[in-house]
């Protein structure tokens, strides 16, 4: 029930996010900041401890106590994938052993994948944050609300139908990071000595954390309780991971036996491969981006594209729909980051995007300090200057009074006052390219 509440509440909050942002934005911000990766992003780019530091620390503390309870009970994307997995189990009942076997086969690579993510993140790419559940789910839901197809979400759900909780167990940055922390957890599901080795727990576990060879559920356990419910011998219970006594005939799951079986040479080659993959991925996601007009208060390039997690909330809340996601054709560095095409739509300077940004890519600055770009006037195209016609539309539309007119009402730009909102370029009546254009800072 809690999982259902989690996904329904998140969808409803994001769907209700509009101008002006209200309580739904506050709740979305709090939920997003439960993710430890967002704290790492703040420390990496802002070099300061945020006031909400206690939220991700709460998640980490809960993980150290009870394992991946955040992933199993609070994560909205995880909740959706839980129901998707149940559909997959029902639809592919005969393939259930194959689904579990595939998941177990690829699970050993998850910590090498985490190494890739950490290296890419440390080198300056915030694509890791985009793959975290709150950012990714926000991005895909925002696409739906904007009339686009959520291809990434569809792909993840299709993978879950075929391969169980592969995303949550192996690929999700938050899931893998919390799996690492869960290796130190104090409590979890434990198998008692009256286990009959029927392997129903292993078949029921959607993340491959249950095994008849272990006494304790493995680090990937979501604490969902499915293994406990299906056990015919009632041999599985929630307790301290390392109880004393002689009632268990099994060995701990997270001990060193499995690690000892791995050759040091193989581990070294896998780690070297992870580093090489991280370097290749970093080259694709970090680079000089083409200058475009960004939301008011945006960090300077290239910091903006590095910090932005592409959640789409600024686009969702924009009342004039001036903010648009950049297409994949502009490269991975720019993909899905918000930008403005002034000729199509202008920024109303409502500053709502500053309120909803969860990563600090859009900083809260007062209106008189906003400098999105600078307006440039081409007098040879301006009908007031070139044709001596009465036209002062750009000055009439400027919300910060950065355009003045002479005795003939010919416009002149006051660059020290220009916010770069694009109102002048949007209103210019000249056909084709406007006579007055806003260039990014």
Q: Is residue 131 part of a domain?
A: yes
Q: Is residue 253 part of a domain?
A: no
Half-sphere exposure of 89 (CA within 13 A, CB side): 14
Residue with tokens 């999982």: 3
Mean pLDDT of all residues in 216-226: 86
Q: Is the pLDDT of residue 133 over 90?
A: yes
Determine the pLDDT at residue 98.
81
Question: Whose CA is closest to 72, among 225, 218, 201, 240?
Answer: 225
Q: Is residue 205 part of a domain?
A: no
Q: Is the pLDDT of residue 350 over 90?
A: yes
Q: Is the pLDDT of residue 216 over 70?
A: yes
Q: Is residue 65 part of a domain?
A: yes
Of the chain, the end-to-end C-alpha distance in Å amounts to 49
Determine the pLDDT at residue 266.
64
Mean pLDDT (the chain) is 86
- Domain range spanning residue 57? 2-182
As for how many domains the chain has, the answer is 2
Least confident of 33-37, 199-203, 222-226, 281-285: 281-285
Domain boundary among 139, 159, 182: 182
Determine the pLDDT at residue 434.
94
- What secondary structure letter does DSSP report for 367? G
Q: pLDDT band at residue 251, thresholds of 50, 70 and 90? A: very low
- The CB density around residue 90, as the number of other CB atoms within 10 Å, is 9
Q: Is residue 419 part of a domain?
A: yes
Determine the pLDDT at residue 47.
84
Q: Is residue 284 part of a domain?
A: no
223-245 burial: b if 16+ Cβ within 10 Å, else e: bbebbbebbeeebbeeeebeeee
Least confident of 203-217, 257-271, 418-432: 257-271
Determine the pLDDT at residue 271.
64
Question: Whose CA is closest to 219, among 249, 258, 178?
Answer: 178
Q: Is the pLDDT of residue 274 over 50?
A: yes
Mean pLDDT of all residues in 15-27: 91
Domain boundary among 131, 160, 182: 182
pTM of the shown model: 0.86
Q: What is the pLDDT of residues 383-410, one digit of tens each?
A: 999 999 999 999 999 999 999 998 888 9
Q: Is residue 264 part of a domain?
A: no
Q: Is residue 407 part of a domain?
A: yes
Determine the pLDDT at residue 397.
94
Domain boundary among 158, 182, 206: 182
Domain CATH number, residue 422: 3.30.70.20
């Amino acid at each position: 029930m809690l999982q259902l509440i989690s996904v329904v509440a998140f969808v409803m909050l994001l769907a209700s996010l509009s101008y002006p942002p209200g309580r739904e934005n506050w709740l979305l911000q709090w939920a997003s900041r439960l993710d430890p990766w967002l704290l790492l992003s703040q420390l990496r780019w802002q070099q300061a401890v945020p006031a909400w530091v206690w939220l991700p620390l709460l998640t980490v503390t809960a993980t150290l106590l009870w394992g991946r309870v955040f992933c199993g009970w609070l994560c909205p994307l995880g909740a959706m994938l839980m129901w998707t997995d149940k559909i997959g189990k029902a639809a592919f009942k005969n393939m259930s052993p194959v689904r579990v076997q595939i998941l177990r086969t690829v699970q050993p690579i998850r910590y090498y994948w985490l190494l890739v993510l950490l290296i890419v993140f440390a080198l300056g790419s915030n694509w890791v944050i985009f793959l975290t559940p709150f950012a990714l789910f926000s991005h895909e839901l925002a696409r739906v609300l904007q009339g686009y197809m959520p291809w990434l979400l569809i792909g993840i759900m299709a993978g879950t139908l075929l391969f169980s909780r592969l995303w949550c167990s192996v690929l999700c940055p938050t899931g893998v990071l919390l799996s690492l922390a869960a290796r130190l957890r104090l409590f979890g599901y434990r198998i008692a000595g009256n286990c009959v080795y029927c392997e129903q727990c292993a078949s029921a576990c959607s993340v491959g954390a249950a095994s008849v060879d272990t006494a304790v559920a493995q680090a990937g356990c979501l604490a969902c309780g499915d293994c406990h419910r299906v056990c015919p011998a009632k041999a599985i219970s929630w307790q301290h991971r390392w109880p004393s006594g002689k009632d268990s005939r099994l060995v701990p799951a997270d001990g060193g036996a499995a690690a000892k079986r791995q050759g040091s040479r193989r581990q070294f080659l896998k780690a070297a491969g992870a580093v090489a993959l991280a370097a290749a991925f970093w080259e694709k996601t970090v680079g000089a981006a083409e200058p475009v007009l960004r939301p008011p208060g945006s960090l300077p390039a290239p910091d903006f594209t590095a910090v932005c997690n592409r959640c789409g909330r600024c686009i969702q809340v924009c009342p004039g729909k001036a903010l648009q996601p950049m297409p994949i054709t502009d490269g991975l560095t720019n993909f899905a980051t918000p930008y403005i095409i002034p000729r199509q739509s202008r920024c109303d300077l409502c500053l709502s995007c500053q309120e909803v940004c969860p990563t600090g890519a859009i900083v809260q600055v007062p209106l008189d300090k906003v400098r999105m770009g600078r307006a440039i006037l081409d007098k040879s195209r301006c009908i007031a200057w070139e044709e001596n016609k009465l036209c002062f539309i750009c000055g009439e539309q400027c919300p910060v009074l950065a355009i003045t007119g002479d005795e003939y009402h010919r416009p002149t730009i006051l660059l020290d006052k220009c916010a770069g909102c694009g109102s002048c370029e949007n209103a210019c009546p000249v056909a084709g390219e406007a006579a007055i254009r806003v260039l990014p800072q």
